[in-house]
Homo-oligomer: A and B are copies of this chain.
Amino acid sequence: MRQKKLYGIFTPNMVPLDDRGRINERELRRIVDWLVNCGINGLYPNGSTGEFTRFSFEERKEIVRIVTEQVHGRAFVLAGAAEANVKLTLEAAAYYHSLGADAVAIVAPFYYKISQEGVYAYFAEIARESPIDLTLYNIPQFANDIANDTILRLAGEFPRIVGIKDSSRDLPRFLNMMHDVASVRPDFIYLSGCEEMLLPALLMGADGGTIATSGVIPEVFVKLYHLALAGQLEEARAIQYKVLDLIKLIVFGADFPEAVRQAVGLRGFQMGAGRQPLSPTQKFNLEEVARTIQCTLSEFGCVDEPAGGCAPSPVSRQSVERIVQEVIRGLRDGRS
C-alpha cells in the first residue's frame, strides 16, 4: 500500500538559537536525533514552524545542511526552499538536492496578493527548472492561496511536482482536491498541515501530515498514524481528541510559533530566545502558557508537573473580569 515517495508524520522542526541569537547546531542535531528515534517519518526544515522568514538565505541553507547530515537517511527530508525570487529558490533547491534531501517544499509567494494565474506561473517556472522533486505548500493564512484548480493544473502538467502540503485547515476543500487530482495524478502525495484533523484526513486518504505538535510529542503522533493505518479507529480517535488541548495551547496560545518553542524546551532542549521581539505582557503570558503546556504534557507522561502543581486555577478569567468590573465601579463611585 505504501508506494508513494513520501508519507507519514513530518516534523517541521524549530531551530534552537544560542545566547547570541545564532543557530545552535549542537542542539539542533540533538533534536533531529530525538525525533528520528521517536519514529518520525520525516523532517521538514524551513517550514513555518521553523520560522524560515526570520533567517537569512545563508542561514536557511545551513539549517538544511545540518538536518540532512544528521538525519543521514534515517528519515525523509522535505526542505523548505522558498526564497525572494525564482532564481534564488532554484539555487536553494539545487543545493538541497546536492545534500540528499528527498524533495523541497515551496510556499506560494507572499506579501503581494497575486492572482491564480500568477501563482500558476510561479510554480510552473520553478517546476520546469528544479533538479529535485517539489511539493506545493499551501498556507493561505500567511501566503497567497493555491486554489484547487491551480493545484489540479500544476499536478497535471508537471511531474516534478509530486505532492502538496496543505495547511488550509479546510477539509471540504482538501477532499475535493484529493478527489480531483486523483484522476490525473494517482501518485500525488497529500500531507495535511492541520493537526486537529489529522485522523479524519488520514481516514479519507491522505498520506500523512506535517505536524508542528509532533515536534513536542512525536511518540504520540507516530502512534496515531500507525493506529490509523491499522484501522484501529476507536484508539486513534481517542488520541486525536486527547491532543486537541495541547494543539490549542501550542498553535494558538501565543503568537505562532512562540508556544511551540516553549513546548520543545520542556522536552529538554535549549531553544534560546526567538528573533521576534516580545513585549513584557507577551513574556508574562508566555510563562503562563508554558506552565499550562507542562501540565498537559505531564498528562501524556512526557514531563513532570511544574513546581507549583497543576491544580485548577483558583480564579477563572471570568471571575477576574467580574472582580475588575467591581473594582472599577468602586473607584468610579468614589470619584463623586
Q: How far is the CB of A137 from chain B (nearest CB, A)?
A: 12
Q: How far is the CB of A290 from chain B (nearest CB, A)?
A: 12
Q: Chain A interface mostly helix, strand, loop or mixed?
A: helix
**Is A3 an interface position by the 8 A CB rule?**
no
With a cutoff of 8 Å between Cβ atoms, the chain B residues found around residue A113 in the complex are 141-142, 255-256
- Whether B118 and A255, one on each chain, are in contact in the complex, defined by CB atoms closer than 8 angstroms, is yes
A122-B277 contact given A315-B331, A332-B308, CB 8 Å threshold: yes
**Is A86 an interface position by the 8 A CB rule?**
yes
Q: How far is the CB of A145 from chain B (nearest CB, A)?
A: 14
Task: Please name the 6 residue pairs, one residue from A and one from B, whose CB atoms are nearest each other, closest first.
Answer: A172-B196, A308-B336, A200-B200, A121-B279, A121-B277, A125-B277
Residues of A bordering B, CB below 8 Å: 21, 48, 53-57, 84-88, 109-115, 117-118, 120-122, 124-125, 141-143, 169-172, 175-176, 179, 194, 196-197, 199-200, 203-205, 231, 233, 237, 240-241, 244-245, 248, 255-256, 275-279, 281-282, 284, 288, 291, 307-309, 311, 313-315, 320-321, 323-325, 327-329, 331-333, 335-336
29 residue pairs A–B, Cβ–Cβ below 8 Å: A48-B111, A54-B84, A56-B57, A85-B275, A86-B277, A111-B142, A112-B142, A112-B255, A117-B278, A118-B276, A118-B278, A121-B276, A121-B278, A169-B172, A171-B200, A172-B197, A175-B196, A176-B196, A197-B200, A200-B200, A200-B203, A200-B204, A205-B237, A281-B321, A281-B325, A284-B325, A313-B331, A315-B328, A320-B327
